[in-house]
Amino acid sequence: MGIAAQGRGVSNHGAYLRGPLTALGLTAALAVAVADQAVKLWLIFVFDLGARGTVNVLPGVDLVLTWNTGISYGWFQQEGPFGQGALLALKVIAVALLWIWLARAGSRLTAIALGLIIGGALGNAIDRLAYGAVADFVLLYLRTPAWSFNWYVFNLADVAIVAGVVGLLYESLIGDRAAKAP
């Protein structure tokens, strides 16, 4: 930053959070967070999924309301306010770091992928603030007469996070910007 800019009181701190594709990524994040919360609010308060119990949607797909007080796959369950606050603080730090990465994104795919991850994290963070746990509701399973497999229960925010990670993996391993062997 030059002397003239310093003299006018202009700060370069905002450059960490703004880049050419930041608006695209944040638009994706906002869309994910809003859609996630809209679906959760409808399922919890209008459809009353908690009172309905398990609702079969398709073979292998059920809706069932569960409250996750931990992180992905139900790991690190936290019942008390300290643990919940620690998980929320970790989420805030992760979103801040992802936003800084977003400000430096060099492709639209990277920006959208980061936006999906940020939006999913925000959607789940809103749950943690509002309810002290994350509302999950989709159960995928496979059952045969001799065998049964249940996937973990997840929500739209989780789908967005996974889609964002897949996008980043594609970009780094296969996409135009992937490192290529000589």
DSSP 108-152: HHHHHHHHHHHHHHHHHHHHHHHHSSEEEEEEEEEE-SS-EEEPP
Across the beta sheet with 61-68, the strand order is: 55-58, 61-68, 134-143, 148-150
Record the pTM. Answer: 0.81
Query: Among the listed ranges 20-24, 74-78, 89-93, which one has the minimum average pLDDT value?
Result: 74-78
Query: Among the listed ranges 33-47, 58-72, 114-128, which one has the minimum average pLDDT value?
Result: 58-72
pLDDT (average), residues 96-108: 88
Residue 11 predicted with pLDDT over 60:
no
Domain boundaries, the chain: 15-173
Query: Among the listed ranges 3-12, 24-33, 94-103, 118-127, which one has the minimum average pLDDT value?
Result: 3-12
Q: Residues with catalytic annotation?
A: 136, 158
Computed over every residue of the chain, the mean pLDDT equals: 84
Report the alpha-carbon distance of residue 45 to residue 65 in Å, rounded: 12
